[in-house]
A = this chain, B = another copy of it.
Amino acid sequence: MERKRIRLTVAYDGTNYHGWQLQNNGNTIEAELNRCLTELLNEPIQVVGASRTDSGVHALGNVAVFDTASRMPAGKISYAMNQRLPEDIRIQKSEEVPADWHPRHCESRKIYEYRIYRAEFPMPVKRLYSYFTYHSLDVEKMREAAAYLEGRHDFKSFCQAGSQVQSTVRTIYMLWVEEQGPDIVIRVCGNGFLYNMVRIIAGTLLEVGEGKREPESMQWVLEAGDRAAAGPTAPAHGLTLMKYEFLA
């Protein structure tokens, strides 16, 4: 039976999930997708995800693939899945891709946003999707600091200790800090990110904004190659995986 490979663009509210990746305890995005597809297509399906986002992180456009012998048209799978998924997960697109296409073995750009809400008091309707702070933030200094991180660098200082990767060199194409009314949005586009890298960048830029460290200090944070040189890991719920762009 001929099998075809399907790519899903997956959006979710991470609030009630233990992240993307299958776990023995706790519900995950991957587990929900596998369950839904296995029921829908009546064959055992295991998806392969592009980004294994952490517990509490949101996504507008994460990506997953799976193979199926089903004759359901690729474009209809999104509609059928959305009838069966919980309302905090929605497939945005389903399409056929070449049988050897793999989301982690192809050149890509990802865009993440880290959203900060700065005010005297938290705003309930923002609490699930942004990090609240009552500290004044010097956005201009955050921008200066961000500029040091753009480009190709060894981001070892911005990688959660204990993470096992061959190389900690990554390229950040763009790192903006944007004011949107009372929100400050850190938007980062890169070819790949180390474990907790965006949240550590956000936590470090927050310290710059609060005046706890100077923008110029980013240079030695990078050179130190030591997680302890960077700032804290900002909370997961402020982070959203916005978009993947595949270059091949």
Which A residues fall within an 8 A CB radius of B? 11-13, 58, 60, 78, 82, 87-92, 120-125, 127-129, 240
Contacts and interface: CB of A to CB of B under 8 A. Distances in A.
Contact of A121 (B88, B92, B121, B125): B92
A151 to B, nearest CB: 29
Contacts of A89: 124
B127 A240 contact: no
A40 to B, nearest CB: 16
Contacts of A240: 125
20 contacts: A11-B121, A11-B123, A11-B124, A11-B125, A12-B124, A13-B124, A13-B127, A60-B123, A82-B121, A82-B122, A87-B122, A88-B124, A89-B124, A90-B123, A90-B124, A91-B121, A92-B120, A92-B121, A92-B123, A125-B240
Contacts of A58: 124-125
Contacts of A92: 120-121, 123
Contact of A122 (B90, B120, B123, B127): B90
B88 A127 contact: yes
